[in-house]
Amino acid sequence: MQKRFNINNVDPQAYKAMFGLESYLAKVEISKSLKELIKLRASQINGCAYCLDMHSKDALKNGETAQRIFILSAWKEATEFFSEEEQAVLLMTEEITLIHDKGLSEETYQKAAKFFSENQIAQIIMAIVTINAWNRIAISTHLKIGE
């Protein structure tokens, strides 16, 4: 695949808007660990090699274990490695990323509501939405790993 262009070079205002979301997410209550799990799981679903490379490195720097990163795509079969809170967030990530299937189900929302406030759920949703946007930018413009 040949790289197409860099959106930041072509339309810096668009990139600035995306970084506005990142600035918001840097200040939210949800942990860095949860944010990285969201980024990794959504990027796995979307097949975004660029984001998987970047966020697996970020997760490791943030203290995530390689084992959890390796088994993340099969987390439903390896629940002993992920807390109930993390499992609720991973379910949210999958349902929102695959919005065309059914969206965020009431069952998943209620699971999340056991652990998170409405404000934290809003933050989780924004983290999921943001990585999905980044995945679409990277895939659409054919960003290469390490660029």
Q: What is the largest CA-CA distance in the chain?
A: 46
Residue environment code for 62-75, b if the CB has 16+ CB neighbours within 10 A, otherwise e? eebeeebbeebeeb
Confidence of residue 9 (pLDDT cuts 50, 70, 90): confident
Q: What is the CATH number of domain 30-140?
A: 1.20.1290.10
What is the structure's pLDDT at 40? 98
Residue 58 pLDDT exceeds 80: yes
Average of per-residue pLDDT values in the chain: 95
What is the structure's pLDDT at 25? 97
Map out the domains of the chain as residue ranges: 30-140
